[in-house]
Amino acid sequence: MSAYSLRHYGEDTHRLSDPHVIVEHYTETRTAQEAWDTFAPDVPDNEFHELPNTCAHFLVEGDGRIDQLVPLTERCRHTTGLNWTAIGIENVGLSDGEILSDRAQMRASLALTRWLQCRYRIALRNVIGHNESLSSPYHHDRVPAFQHQTHSDWNRTDMNRYRALLARLPCPAGTD
């Protein structure tokens, strides 16, 4: 991750400190195991053929189970242009709409996101879907091929709904 960070952000470090953004994703898989099988191998990613492989800090399953995959002190390669300052949350599912309609998963995803948001004092506007990454004021990448790259997961309309639900939640005790 240090080599990736040096190439993309000009910072020779693997450490995530003072995150400013939380990025919501969906796995495009039906199970957490399928997602894990994508993240776990130490091989170049299938899209850009670059190490490290893609990952996320957290995985939220349909039954509400939350798995932490990467420590919050480590950078994780989940969103081009934001990996240097973003926490990545993968929600198991095939679409934002599928996840939004799953009560247990949404309850867990929102609680996790709110806890992180309050713990790191991340503004609601900086809780984004992967599809919104290019509009983040924190987005930058030194590699030209990556400067305009994003994915379709969590479009603005669905993220507006997610943020509205998130805004209703109080900060958990001990985080504010």
Could you state, in order of their start, the residue ranges of all structural domains in the chain? 15-167
Residue 23, phi-psi category: left (phi > 0), alpha (psi -120 to 50), beta (remainder): beta
Alpha carbons 60 and 26: distance in angstroms, whole number: 9
Q: Which residues of the chain have pLDDT under 70?
A: 176
pLDDT recorded at residue 148: 84
Helix axes 103-120, 156-167, angle to 10 degrees: 70
Any idea which residue has 């997961």 for tokens?
A: 153
pLDDT recorded at residue 45: 77
pLDDT recorded at residue 40: 87
pLDDT recorded at residue 12: 97
pLDDT recorded at residue 104: 98
Spatial neighbors of 123 by CB under 8 A, at least 6 apart, are: none
Here the tokens at position 134 are 């290019």
| Domain range 15-167, CATH architecture | 3-Layer(aba) Sandwich (3.40)
Alpha carbons 58 and 52: distance in angstroms, whole number: 17
Query: Buried (b) or exposed (e) across 153-176, using 16+ Cβ within 10 A?
Result: bbeeebbeebbebbeeeeeeeeee
Any idea of the CA torsion for 66, 40, 48, 11, to the nearest 10 degrees?
80
Strands (E), 27-125: 58-60, 66-68, 86-91
pLDDT recorded at residue 176: 67
pLDDT digits (tens, 9 = 90+) for 90-131: 999 999 999 999 999 999 999 999 999 999 999 999 999 999
Look at residues 53, 80, 56, 78 and name the one whose alpha carbon lies nearest to residue 66: 56
